Every structure is written in C-alpha cells, then in structure tokens.
Amino acid sequence: MTTATDSPQDQGFRLSQLIYDTRYRAITIQVIAMIAFMLIAAFLIRNTIINLSALGKDIDFGFLFNRAAYDINQKIIPYSSDDPHWRATLVGLLNTLLIALLGCILATIIGVIAGVLRLSKNWLTAKIMTFYVESFRNIPVLLWILAFMAVLSEALPTPRAFRGETPSASMWLWDSVAVTNRGTYVPSPIWGEGSVFVVITFLLSLLGIWAFGKYAKRRFEATGDILPSFWIKLAIFFVPTVLVYFLLGRPVTLSYPELKGFNFSGGLHMRNSMLALWLALSFYTGSFIAEIVRSGILAISKGQTEAAFALGLRPSRTMNLVILPQALRVIIPPLISQYLNLTKNSSLALAVGYMDLRSTLGGTTLNTTGRELECMLLMMLIYLIVSLFISSGMNVYNKSVKLKER
C-alpha cells in the first residue's frame, strides 16, 4: 500500500515537465527569455549594420584621434583646436564634472538652509522658504536655466558702464569682483615661488584635522572626555597655513580684475553660461534637498529630543549626538538620487552654450564628424559610468552612517 508521503515514481523525463514542473519551468522561462533577448538584440544590430552600410558608414572610433578643429571657451586643462577629439571630449567631461561638483555643493548648502528654516518657529521665514521650495520644485529646470541666463545677460551692466568719471556701475567687495553681462570676474590666485609649501601645509593640516577627529573619538570612547573639537579643528585649519604663508613672505598673491579697454582683464572669468547653469541647477536641486532635509528631521520622533534632554544633554550636543545621526540615515538615500539628478541635468548646458560633455562629444564632435552612433554610444557610456561612480561612492558613505544591526 502506498502512502501519501511516498515520492511519485520516477517515470523518466517527459517534455511536459518543462512547462508544468516548477524545477524545470524556471530553466525553460530563462532560456526563452535569453533567446528573446538575443533575437531582439540581433534584430537591432542587423538593422543598424544594414542601415549603416546603405549610408556607406562603418563603426569606427578612430575619429577620436583626428584633429578636433573647434574651440572650447571653458576649459580646465589646456586645449586648443589642434588637439584631437578625445581631448575635446575630456575637456567636456571635466566641465560636466566641474558643474556637477559645484552644483552639488551649493545645492546642499541651499537645501540645508532652506529645509531648516522651513521648520523654523518664525512664521514669516517659514512661509518664504515654502514659497521658494514650491516655486522651484514645480517649474521645469530648463525654464530656470533660461531665466537665470536672461537675468545675467539682460539685467546686469555692460563692462562699459564701469568706465568714465562717474560710472553707472561699480565693482563689488572693495573693487575685487566685477559682475557684468559678459560674465563675472573674481580675483584669482597667482602661485609664486614657494607657494607649493603653502599648499602642502594646507593639505597636511587637513590630514591633521582628520587624525585629530579620530583621536578625539577614541579618547571620548575610552575616557568619556569631550574635547572642544570644533575650535581645535578650526585652529588646525587656519593657523599652520597662515603661519607658513607669512613666514615664506606671502608667496601667493591675488590677481584682481581690471578694466582695460572695453572689457575686464585679469582675475578669473566666470562665464554667464556657467554661472546661469550653476545657479539654476543649485536652486532647483536645492528645493528638493530642502524637502529631503525637512522630512528627515521630522522623521525623528520628538521623544528622541526629550529623552536626550532628560539625560541632561545640551541642545547642541542633542543635535550632534542624537538627532543628526538618525536624520542622516533618512536623508542620505534620497540625497544620492538628487546628486545623480543634478549631474544628469547638467546636460541641459546645451541651452546656455556651456561646453559640457554633451556639447563637445555629443554636439560639435558629432556634427563635424557625422558619427552619430559612436558619439552617442560613447556619451551614454560615460554618463553611465559617472552615475555609477557617484551612486557607489555615496553608497559607501551611506553604509557608514547606516544603523549597525546584528
């Protein structure tokens, strides 16, 4: 007599098991999915090859080593129109990264200030911040970029307005910053002899701050003493560098913008295209970050603050030791995606003529060489790598602040 616990007799493999038996069905489905995927890929590739050959084109990345023959007005590394396309691409990529980095920093500052002020007890300030957040969040970033560009190029004075006995415009901050409709000129450092030591000292003091932070933490955990670490860190930040600077006889000097002829010269010229893009992206993303910060702080229940007060912690220490570590856990993951959004939105540089990756590789290079396929693929690949780098880097940070569970 057979019981229910007996396994069914092995009747050998039947074809129907491929569909009805869960052990085999998983394999069947995956094989079908794989075949379908490869068929679609083959279909697309075959079409591409046929279409390309009909146009007499091939897939060849050799054009990257040809002379680019166009100029880029905004560059971090040396570049001239005689350089090859890959160098133009690199200049564009660096410009994209520059605007992404500057944008992320400014957006975080704006976002944190706006988010905290929106929670302020001051009714008027809270309302102004609500107005800022809601107006920036709900209007396309492209419109903001164009609007900022229009402000900079239409509403600001021309360099000519600074001329003459009674100029109609004047420079800011004790004649060091010139804000004109052709761009903003700020003082730039001139690295004189021995300035390398100043830089090295500065980097070493950064290292010192980090080491001191570690030491203070270890000491706190061992003895319970809390050092006034903020002031000490501030001292390490400034004192050695300033000391070395004066000991070496001020090797670093500033070059101030000066009015020469019809335009300013000297100093660092920040183009309107870059400023508009930077400000618009920062204010737009800042409004999202403000909401993230606000919800992060609100997510910490009031009991936490009360418990910290009951333990006798001072408000500042409550913020540092109790509220912020918990709020950061809520804030970081959406913050990562905002940084990614900002980086991707920097491709809207096209609207104002800032030469980023899309405007060099995906713009002028693409148009002059006529290699759409290669340029687009390369550009997507680079954006993808940048995005993956940012998200993985931020994920490492996220892991370090995450709740350590057993």
Partner 1 sequence: MSTTKSLSYVRKEILEQQPAPRSQVGFTRWVRENLFSGWFNSILTLVSIFVIYKVAAAALPWLLGGVWDASSLEECRAVLNERFGNTHYACWAVITERWNQLLYGFYPDTEYWRANLAFFLMLASLAPVLFDKIPRKMLYLTMAFPFLLVWLVWGGTLWGVISVAAGFVLGGVAFKLVDRYGSMALSAIAAVVVAAIWWLFISPSVVDGLNAFLPFGHLQEVQSRDLGGFMICVIIGISGIALSLPIGIVLALGRQSDLFVVKTICVGFIEFIRGVPLITLLFTASLLLNYFLPPGTAFDLTLRVIIMVTLFSSAYMAEVIRGGLAALPKGQYEAADALGLDYWKAQRLVIMPQALKISIPGIVNTFIGLFKDTTLVMFIGIYDMLGLSNAIRANSAWNGIYWELFIFIGLVFWICCFAMSRYSQWLERKLRTDHR
> Among 37, 61, 220, 309, which residue interacts with partner 1 (rule: CB under 8 A)?
37
The contact pattern for partner 1, residues 387-406, with x = CB under 8 A and - = no contact, is xx------------------
C-alpha 58: how far from chain center: 36
Closest CA to 345 of 332, 357, 333, 334: 357
Question: Closest distance between partner 1 and the C-beta of residue 25, in Å?
Answer: 9
Residue type (1 letter), 383 = Y
Question: Cα separations (Å) of 120 from 291, 330, 385?
Answer: 14, 20, 40
Site for partner 1, residues 84 to 113, rule: CB under 8 A? none
| Strand 183-186 to 188-191 pairing | unpaired
User: Is the CB of 347 or the CB of 368 nearer to partner 1?
Assistant: 347
Helix, strand or coil, per DSSP, at residue 254: strand
d(CA 196, CA 201): 9
User: Is the CB of 3 or the CB of 22 nearer to partner 1?
Assistant: 22
d(CA 134, CA 269): 33
The contact pattern for partner 1, residues 50-79, with x = CB under 8 A and - = no contact, is xxx-x-------------------------
User: Is the CB of 14 or the CB of 250 nearer to partner 1?
Assistant: 14
Question: Closest distance between partner 1 and the C-beta of residue 354, in Å?
Answer: 13
Site for partner 1, residues 264 to 303, rule: CB under 8 A? none
C-alpha 327: how far from chain center: 21
Question: Closest distance between partner 1 and the C-beta of residue 157, in Å?
Answer: 16
Question: Closest distance between partner 1 and the C-beta of residue 385, in Å?
Answer: 8
Tokens of 310: 């009951």
138 binds partner 1 (CB under 8 A): yes
d(CA 133, CA 138): 8
d(CA 401, CA 287): 24
Closest CA to 299 of 269, 265, 327: 327
Question: Closest distance between partner 1 and the C-beta of residue 386, in Å?
Answer: 8
DSSP assignment of 68-112 equals -----SS-SS---TTSBHHHHHHHHHHHHHHHHHHHHHHHHHHHH
> Among 6, 10, 60, 154, which residue interacts with partner 1 (rule: CB under 8 A)?
154
User: Is the CB of 264 or the CB of 278 nearer to partner 1?
Assistant: 278
Question: Closest distance between partner 1 and the C-beta of residue 78, in Å?
Answer: 28
Phi/psi for 171 (5° steps) reads: -80, 160
User: Is the CB of 226 or the CB of 376 nearer to partner 1?
Assistant: 376
| Strand 252-255 to 258-260 pairing | unpaired
The contact pattern for partner 1, residues 341-380, with x = CB under 8 A and - = no contact, is ---xx-xx-xx------x---x---------xx--x--xx
Question: Closest distance between partner 1 and the C-beta of residue 277, in Å?
Answer: 13
Contacts of 345 (CB under 8 A, 6+ apart): 141, 281, 284, 285
User: Is the CB of 176 or the CB of 368 nearer to partner 1?
Assistant: 368
C-alpha 296: how far from chain center: 21
Question: Closest distance between partner 1 and the C-beta of residue 85, in Å?
Answer: 18
Count of residues in contact with partner 1, rule CB under 8 A: 54
Binding site for partner 1 (CB under 8 A): 19-20, 26, 29-30, 33-34, 37, 44, 47-48, 50-52, 54, 117, 120-125, 128, 134-135, 137-143, 146-147, 150, 154, 340, 344-345, 347-348, 350-351, 358, 362, 372-373, 376, 379-380, 383-384, 387-388
